Structure 1
Amino acid sequence: MRNIVGLLFIAIALAVPPVTARAVIPDGASSPSVAFYYGNDAPLELLDQFDWVAIEAANLAPKQRERLERHGTQAFAYVSVGELDAWRPQPSHLPDSVLLEDNPHWNSRVADLTSDEWQRYLLEERIQPLWNDGYRGLFLDTLDSYRLFAPEGRAAWRQQQALVELIGEIRQRFPDMKLLVNRGFEVLDRIHGDIVGIAAESLYRRWNPATGIYGSVPDTDSQWLHDHLSRARDEYGLPTIAIDYVPAADRELARRTAERIAAEGFIPWVSVAQLNQVGVGLIEPVPRRILMLYDKASTEAGELANTNAHRYLAMPLEYMGYAAEYHDVNAALPDDVLNGRYAGIVSWFDGPIPHGQRYADWLLEQMRNGLRVVILGDPGIPLNGALGNHMGLIEGSEQRQLRIADHDDMLGFEGMPSHPAPYQHGYQTTRADIIRHLTLEAPGGRSLSPVLSGPWGGIATWPWILQQAGEAQQRWILDPFAFLETALALPEIPVPDPTTENGARYWMTQIDGDAFVSRADFPGSHFTGELMLTEVLQRYRVPTTVSVIEGEFGPHSLHPHLRSQLEPLARRIFELPWVEIANHTFSHPFQWEKLDEGDLAGQGETQAGFNYNLPIPGYAFSLEREIAGATAYINDHLAPPDKSVSVVLWSGNALPPEEALAHAERIGLRNMNGGNTHITDSFPTLTRVSPMLRPQGDYLQVYAPQTNENIYTNHMRGPLWGYRRVIETYRLTDRPRRLKPIDIYYHFYSAASPAALKALQQVYDYVSTQETLPVYTSTWSDVASQWYDLGIARRLDGGWQIRAATQLRTLRLPPALGWPDLAASRGVAGVRDTDTGRYVALSGAGDSLLQLSPHPPETPHLRLANGRISRWERHDAKRLSLRLAAEQVSLHIALAGMEGCDIDAPGARQQQQGDQVILSYAGSHSDRIEVSCDD
């Protein structure tokens, strides 16, 4: 963006006065939230929270623009009207006479707007391709660049007349194109009917391109711009946007400046001069991504799932509401301003990394820009020189026996060594603002700190992260929740919670297709599927996702002779109303990463003695066949007419490559499986709790919340009753923190023995006693996937905006934030306070507004339900209408705040309990429920 008037500013200090009250947000009906972002890699999960976004179209793929629009964001493609940027393809047909002046500050050339060639270039080579690509909004910049060669008089008037004609021609050729302009005050009286808004830079804070210095705007210049913006707003009714600039690290100044602009009745956008930072506007999106760095070259098979960062850090971050975005430190590092885009950077390396100096320079730049960094394990680089000086650290090591001189509650989370190992690496501090969470002392009084935090982030070195006694026995020394929260200075936010809905914990059930061809160890030698049908599926009529493996018994399989017996059995199972159909692939890959397209089946051997996939005669491995082909077989031969495959349940080690996830998404399948959550009373450590998601390129793999019975039974070698210990896992992933929903996850071989079948029934019986909301795995896969990108933004009035929350419908509210103000909120259905969290229920309608109060709500609201909201309408504080529907179970609803209220709930049995009304239905759906209360 160019500000020609700004080139003449003189840098002087003008402090922005502190804001002591909340800013007055401009009228929402005419004031969209607006962002300007020209960075190389657009953070869609943040930008799609705005109503309008001006972007550089060259940096945005068509599917990214489509995503913005799906979330209700109008994209405005940047078009420089008065200048030709050097980095763009240079039109060979433009004569030199068209470009009259250089603008060295922006490496561009200023054009003659009266030139037919220039106008033809803009219309045909810049705007027409944008129209063809689907853009229906343009941000027209550099409208006043002509002042560099025609500052006033007749020459300036001719340029202005050409500008008016150009805008009129754009509107005539592209009638649906919305135009947002930067300045153009001289012609506003002639173009105001053709534009939807006007922006201008440097109302209070500016950047001087000649000096590269940020500063305040002189009073006279500020007043001049204020008057022009006021005129555009008041006389023409246009949304008026003030774009101010502050250093990347000074986020508080950006917020104060945005509040000051908003208090004047203008729409703010405060960012860095290059506009490659997610700044502050009428809303400030909460960065929910953590840039997680790992060294792919030193990772086993280069697999993300094998990294310490993924195995141990992703889960605590997910609980706190933050998603890991993984990046190989050996690849090109992001070069835009990351403060405002990420909540922090986290690394966990096992040793030195290549290209260390490049990484050190980049890391220092991010710290200087105000982004916090957490370093666990080996930093990968020496923390010395300019980087060490910035962090206030001096590296050191000690080979003599040390003693623990002091530590705080950051250590000893699950265990604590009584004596440090002789060799230790740590740091001495050079500043008072560094907190030493652990201090080790050597003979003679010399001390080192291997765990500390400061204004730049935090560091924790080996062996003070995990206490290990072999691969299978380890526990946290460091409190990962407290350390990450402290080191990253994570703010209190409403946390998107994928474990709970309407106050109840999710419950899903899934069966992998393994052993559907096997006979059970019962009298009569029934197939396992027969016993599973009669003893489990018909007994526990809850939403259940059932899969089969085509390669076990299909027409081209290991056992085609069983097809006549097993296909009818599969049809009987899939016809059950509470069964959702899934695909467990064609050849059941055991190790996905070892298989390439065209590999013959049955080649190679895993550590457990299995082939890489089932040895199906003549089969050459194909991802298309594994996913789309097996899905077509099930749909064509096994599924009833009113059903089709909804989910792919990954097989084997459940590490599908990105291409497999792409195949599943292309044919509309959700995905599930993977992870290894199996914390028990014998090993009550959170190191056994896996994350929820495994990002792979542009796709997400959704892990199963708990692992299957194979782990609890020692691969079915005994004890065969071992799966009942999953009940311990359910409890330990619920308290003291609800980390996971409930997943009853097993195979058909659980019906192969009396002990295994009995254990499975015990698991069902236990879960049936819990307060749950039963869902299909496809439903929860949607919840988990939406969690990754869900947008939350602070509003300048103190409220919270939640955009596109259609599947994920719960926010866990930290007690410090208070309670939902239901009357002032929108799309907020209720709240339930439990010992695992304060869960705020959203309606699922999409965009929501959460306003907060220090007091619990007294108006009628939803407290608990085992179904999902299908309709929610709060007419006022005393009246509401709602409908709910459960998945295949009888619906139960608890409404609170009902004292003095009447309720009309056809078909429900009602029970009053204090200020609550309990509604119970024989079926799974409610009719319209009406609540009205006395004044």
Structure 2
Amino acid sequence: MATSLFRGLLLALNMLSSALVYAATTPGQPSVAFYYGNDAPTELLSQFDWIVVEAANIDHDQSRQLRQHGGQVFAYVSVGELDAWREAKTLVAEDALVTRNDAWNSQVADLTAPEWQRWLIEEHIRPLWNAGYRGLFLDTLDSYRLFAPDGDAAKRQQDALVEIVTQIKRQFPDIQLVFNRGFEILDRVHSDVAGVAAESLYRGWNPSTKVYGAVPDDDQAWLYAQLARVRDDYQLPAIAIDYVPANNRALARDTAKRIHDEGFIPWVSVPQLNQMGIGLIEAMPRRVLILFDKAKTEAGELAYTNAHRYLAMPLEYLGYGAEYRDVNEPLPSDTLHGRYAGVVTWFNESLTNAPHYAPWLQHQMENGLRAVIIGDPGIPLSGSLGTLMGLREVSGLVASSLTPLEHDNLVDFEGFPHPSPAPQTSYQILNSANTSHLTLSDDQQRRFSPIITGPWGGLASHPWIFEQASETQIRWNLDPFAFLKRALALPDMPIPDATTENGARYWMTQIDGDAFVSRADMPGTPFTGELMLSDILRRYQVPTTVSIIEGEIGPEGLYPQHRATLEPLARRIFSLPWVEVATHTFSHPFEWESLNENDLAGQGVTLANFNYNLPIPGYRFSLRREIEGSTDYINRELAPADKPVKVVLWTGNALPPEKALAIADELGLRNINGGNTSVTQSNPTMTNVSPMLRPLGRYLQVYAPQINENIYTNNMLGPLWGYRRAIETYQLTDQPRRLKPIDIYYHFYSAASPGALRALHQVYEYVLTQETLPLFTSAWSDVATQWYHTGIAKQLDSGWQIKGANHMRTLRLPADMGWPDLERSRGVAGVRDINSGRYIALSGDRNATLYVTTSQPQVPHLRYANGRITEWQTGSSGQLSLGLAAEQVPLKVALANTHNCQVSAPGARIEQRDNATLLAFDRADAERIEVRCATR
């Protein structure tokens, strides 16, 4: 025992000494991730500097996405083994394969065999090079020890391995190589190597027994010495890949930190490397997997599902984008804990796919993925799944026998749940780790819980989720924000925010082209476009996106007789500097999902007695004609030469198919419209606030922040002044939570009546009193789209890494996290605390780093601006230089903590107020604002 204790003490001292030398002499190392699974989570992996993948599971588009932030992608190459699953164009000679590795179902190669060397380079590596890979991760470098463990036989294999490395570098001179082990040949090839990895330094997995566990001390000491030699003698990144159970994220974090503290680069995952593990950074999952039953959804459209309509918005506010999958399709086989924040379902009835779905869900939950189950679970929560959740399902309860006993603040959000005649489902709690948020009793004094959270997630059963007073009056009983945060155990982190920039709420204005051909109920019956130009567009010179419908005013449209008047009018509108040019398509589809390619226009009358699109004579529907054709017409006939169409404003029910989004993306057009955000004081429910995004395939539809005047005016049937109620929507989507930017969104027919036009003026005048940052619709579409992809990662030193935030430039910081430490952070311009939250302004650097502290910032920073940062430089002692530009409006800026500083800004009116400097300009931009402070 004394000998063992001495050996352990000596090992600890050697490790400590080596780590101290490393900390004092070695610069920052790359963050490294390994992922061999299918359907790689590119939004997470792209946050790393080095990304090792199995190229067979990555397509070209995913490979491009992995590189989007400058990361180096390494393709996995098995140098010493042939995997059974790997397809080969030519067969490997049997003589080159000398034994098997049963643990991994592979054949082990003789590295000296010319046939193997040729196959390895020509059949495996060259295709990777041709596919664009400039990095290789060379694995199984010591598999030869299965048949040549030592002596001359092992030396011959090592010599061959050196020759293989030399050949690779000779034929592909720019390629970067990372080894998995290969310690025996490093003396001869280290100058050709970018880094060296090894598995199981502290935590490992036995492929024979399938058991995780701690690595024995002797094995630790040997591998530690090898990695230290890589790091210290060869000055190469030394990477330790350790394995812990998928559901033990805390152990993974502790192991990664321990590896890092010893001076190595960590990656901690599962042995299949199909889980998002933890390295120098922990990429925070910002997606939630939402499953829906497409076969039982109206038109198979996810926009009609309860999960999309009611849950996606609170998830977005909490910082999480929705990723939708049909529960009837093959579900992801990889380990999803660490990739998604959780899985969410809201089914309306039992699933036909239950035999496949139930074991999939249980497997993912056993591996740590939290589940939120709302409405009908779709499957029985019984048997082993019920045991896992600690619940016993009770169905068929009679509503009249139920009495609410107690509830907490997750219930009674907009109304209190009342039993309904609908069939009741509830649960008895069997595990004390579960929490009941609503407790009922029946006439036999039994206790049930229809709303529960636990270590597995949470559930909320019908009919306790909503209170439905009428067909149009639906209110939440459940607090969706608090319930989702608790059920998914969402961590406190900086939240990307698409409502605000530089402390100001975004404001955009957009006009759908409908009724440009109509005449106003005014003296002289002018065209609505003429009144809109004179009364609105020339009066309110703010960024405005204006569209027309080609099928109304173009030569192939319904009203060619008005072309001579309307086309010049459109040109005058599009020539205004504050107007952005958009298309509202060719035939204005009303029901996108009902139209098929080559359908004759005007066919298919809906229940509301509308055609599916405008009845343009002889026109057969074509998505390309709708988008590309109308864009070409506007660019050719109406738009200034230097100001082409930038946006497509979706029409009708605004549910374009994936192909339409693909065409817009191909043309470089931004897209917006859809959603139905129309919350008002007479119906102040969050059920009337739509999500921001509708994902389809790899594309994103961007919904309008608020709906247009149709909803407020009952489709212009009255009250015609109704659009002024949009002001209520702006207020209710700002307090107590800022859920949306401001969108003044209307059609040309708002100029058709005096009442509608007055309401439009009222809306503009209200918005002008608010602290806003006006921008074009195309710019906000970029913000919303980038919000979905922005990466947030926790660094091991407690800092936060933010990648891909040059359009989306705001983080909302939970108050419990404190304040930004502006002196340590990079790419962080300022902070503003308002009733809606604490908003951190980013400078527009695609790679920012945020540190937080308990104290408010004491250095000069940006508090508010109605423009965007164009330049940002900081110096010592709070010295600061910045440039800003507003869009078509005079620039206003507020700088905080400037009481001991001199502020200069050519052309600005400068006012000192409290501890701030206010700057007002007559122009829209300030190329340079300088802040020079006395030495503190």
Q: SS at the partner of 2:875?
A: strand
Q: Say if 2:161 is the partner of 1:163.
A: yes
- Tell me, in whole angstroms, the C-alpha distance in 1 between the residues paired with 2:120 and 2:25: 34
**Alpha-carbon contact 1:504-1:771 (below 8 Å) kept:** yes
Matches within 5 A, 1:193-212: 193-212=191-210
- Structure 1 residue 555: Cα displacement: 0.9
Matches within 5 A, 1:683-762: 683-762=683-762
**Alpha-carbon contact 1:30-1:239 (below 8 Å) kept:** no
**Aligned partner of 2:45 among 41, 44, 47:** 47
CA offsets 1:408-460 (integer angstroms, 9 cap, x no match): 11111000145565852100011111111111111121121111111101111
- Tell me, in whole angstroms, the C-alpha distance in 2 between the residues paired with 1:925 and 1:431: 61
- Tell me, in whole angstroms, the C-alpha distance in 2 between the residues paired with 1:301 and 1:422: 25
Identity of aligned residues (%): 64
- Tell me, in whole angstroms, the C-alpha distance in 1 between the residues paired with 2:24 and 2:287: 30
Give the letter for the 1:94 counterpart: V
Q: Which residue of 2 aligns with 1:517?
A: 517
Q: Which residue of 2 aligns with 1:134?
A: 132
Q: Say if 2:297 is the partner of 1:299.
A: yes
- Tell me, in whole angstroms, the C-alpha distance in 2 between the residues paired with 1:422 and 1:46: 43
- Tell me, in whole angstroms, the C-alpha distance in 2 between the residues paired with 1:132 and 1:406: 65
- Structure 1 residue 641: Cα displacement: 1.6
Q: Which residue of 2 aligns with 1:838?
A: 838
Q: Which residue of 1 aligns with 2:9?
A: none
Matches within 5 A, 1:609-624: 609-624=609-624
Q: Which residue of 2 aligns with 1:124?
A: 122
- Tell me, in whole angstroms, the C-alpha distance in 2 between the residues paired with 1:30 and 1:920: 43
Q: Which residue of 2 aligns with 1:312?
A: 310
**Alpha-carbon contact 1:440-1:449 (below 8 Å) kept:** yes
Q: Which moved more, 1:612-621 or 1:601-610?
A: 601-610
- Tell me, in whole angstroms, the C-alpha distance in 2 between the residues paired with 1:71 and 1:28: 24
- Structure 1 residue 608: Cα displacement: 2.0
Q: Which residue of 2 aligns with 1:681?
A: 681
Matches within 5 A, 1:520-669: 520-669=520-669
Q: Which residue of 2 aligns with 1:85?
A: 83
Q: Which residue of 2 aligns with 1:8?
A: none
- Structure 1 residue 472: Cα displacement: 1.1
Q: Which residue of 1 aligns with 2:65?
A: 67
Quick one: structure 1 residues 419 and 625, their matched pair in 2 at CA, closer, same or farther if it must change by over 3 Å? closer
Matches within 5 A, 1:912-931: 912-931=912-931
Q: SS at the partner of 2:233?
A: helix
Q: Which moved more, 1:568-577 or 1:905-914?
A: 905-914
Q: SS at the partner of 1:805?
A: coil
- Structure 1 residue 233: Cα displacement: 0.5
- Structure 1 residue 606: Cα displacement: 2.1
**Alpha-carbon contact 1:317-1:481 (below 8 Å) kept:** yes
Q: Paired residues, what number?
A: 917
**Alpha-carbon contact 2:291-2:326 (below 8 Å) kept:** yes
Give the letter for the 2:168 counterpart: I
Q: SS at the partner of 2:198?
A: strand
Q: Which residue of 2 aligns with 1:216?
A: 214
**Alpha-carbon contact 2:294-2:301 (below 8 Å) kept:** yes
RMSD of the TM alignment (CA)? 1.6
**Alpha-carbon contact 2:373-2:459 (below 8 Å) kept:** yes
- Tell me, in whole angstroms, the C-alpha distance in 1 between the residues paired with 2:25 and 2:344: 40
Q: Which moved more, 1:139-148 or 1:412-421?
A: 412-421
Matches within 5 A, 1:399-478: 399=398, 401-418=401-418, 421=421, 423-478=423-478
- Structure 1 residue 881: Cα displacement: 1.0
Q: Which residue of 1 aligns with 2:145?
A: 147
Give the letter for the 2:765 counterpart: D
- Structure 1 residue 29: Cα displacement: 4.3
**Alpha-carbon contact 2:371-2:457 (below 8 Å) kept:** yes
Q: Which residue of 1 aligns with 2:236?
A: 238
**Alpha-carbon contact 1:879-1:931 (below 8 Å) kept:** yes
- Structure 1 residue 902: Cα displacement: 1.1
Give the letter for the 2:657 counterpart: P
**Alpha-carbon contact 2:571-2:640 (below 8 Å) kept:** yes
Q: Which residue of 1 aligns with 2:828?
A: 828
**Alpha-carbon contact 1:44-1:64 (below 8 Å) kept:** yes
Matches within 5 A, 1:894-913: 894-913=894-913
CA offsets 1:793-836 (integer angstroms, 9 cap, x no match): 00000000000111000000001110000010000000000110
- Structure 1 residue 553: Cα displacement: 1.1
**Alpha-carbon contact 1:270-1:281 (below 8 Å) kept:** yes
**Alpha-carbon contact 1:543-1:776 (below 8 Å) kept:** yes
Q: Which residue of 1 aligns with 2:179?
A: 181
Quick one: structure 1 residues 466 and 877, their matched pair in 2 at CA, closer, same or farther if it must change by over 3 Å? farther
Q: SS at the partner of 2:482?
A: helix
Q: Which residue of 1 aligns with 2:6?
A: none
Q: SS at the partner of 2:136?
A: strand
**Alpha-carbon contact 1:912-1:918 (below 8 Å) kept:** yes
Q: SS at the partner of 2:444?
A: coil
- Structure 1 residue 777: Cα displacement: 0.4
- Tell me, in whole angstroms, the C-alpha distance in 1 between the residues paired with 2:326 and 2:347: 11
Q: Which residue of 2 aligns with 1:275?
A: 273
**Alpha-carbon contact 2:419-2:464 (below 8 Å) kept:** no
- Tell me, in whole angstroms, the C-alpha distance in 2 between the residues paired with 1:29 and 1:549: 59
Q: SS at the partner of 2:313?
A: helix
**Alpha-carbon contact 1:34-1:282 (below 8 Å) kept:** yes
Give the letter for the 1:370 counterpart: G
- Tell me, in whole angstroms, the C-alpha distance in 2 between the residues paired with 1:37 and 1:418: 48
Quick one: structure 1 residues 35 and 176, their matched pair in 2 at CA, closer, same or farther if it must change by over 3 Å? same
- Tell me, in whole angstroms, the C-alpha distance in 1 between the residues paired with 2:877 and 2:792: 25
- Structure 1 residue 607: Cα displacement: 2.5
Matches within 5 A, 1:307-386: 307-386=305-384
CA offsets 1:642-662 (integer angstroms, 9 cap, x no match): 100000000000000000000
Give the letter for the 1:324 counterpart: A
Q: Say if 2:507 is the partner of 1:507.
A: yes
Q: TM-score, normalised by structure 2?
A: 0.97
Q: Which residue of 2 aligns with 1:7?
A: none
Q: SS at the partner of 1:532?
A: helix
Q: SS at the partner of 1:830?
A: strand
Give the letter for the 2:317 counterpart: Y
**Alpha-carbon contact 1:26-1:267 (below 8 Å) kept:** no
- Tell me, in whole angstroms, the C-alpha distance in 1 between the residues paired with 2:839 and 2:489: 23
CA offsets 1:28-62 (integer angstroms, 9 cap, x no match): 84410000000011000100000000001111111
Quick one: structure 1 residues 28 and 417, their matched pair in 2 at CA, closer, same or farther if it must change by over 3 Å? farther
Q: Which residue of 1 aligns with 2:101?
A: 103
**Alpha-carbon contact 2:347-2:374 (below 8 Å) kept:** yes
Q: SS at the partner of 1:236?
A: coil
**Alpha-carbon contact 1:498-1:787 (below 8 Å) kept:** yes
**Alpha-carbon contact 1:723-1:756 (below 8 Å) kept:** yes
- Tell me, in whole angstroms, the C-alpha distance in 1 between the residues paired with 2:725 and 2:914: 37
Q: SS at the partner of 2:925?
A: coil
Runs of 4+ residues over 6 Å off in structure 1? 24-28
Q: SS at the partner of 2:602?
A: coil
**Alpha-carbon contact 1:401-1:423 (below 8 Å) kept:** no
**Alpha-carbon contact 1:25-1:796 (below 8 Å) kept:** no
Q: Which moved more, 1:443-452 or 1:783-792?
A: 443-452
- Tell me, in whole angstroms, the C-alpha distance in 2 between the residues paired with 1:858 and 1:818: 14
Q: Which residue of 1 aligns with 2:868?
A: 868
Quick one: structure 1 residues 27 and 788, their matched pair in 2 at CA, closer, same or farther if it must change by over 3 Å? farther
| Structure 2 segments unaligned to the other structure (5+ residues) | 1-11
| Structure 1 segments unaligned to the other structure (5+ residues) | 1-13
- Structure 1 residue 470: Cα displacement: 3.3
**Alpha-carbon contact 2:789-2:804 (below 8 Å) kept:** no
Quick one: structure 1 residues 762 and 103, their matched pair in 2 at CA, closer, same or farther if it must change by over 3 Å? same
- Tell me, in whole angstroms, the C-alpha distance in 2 between the residues paired with 1:401 and 1:68: 57
CA offsets 1:122-147 (integer angstroms, 9 cap, x no match): 11111111111111111110010001
Quick one: structure 1 residues 171 and 422, their matched pair in 2 at CA, closer, same or farther if it must change by over 3 Å? closer
Give the letter for the 1:36 counterpart: F
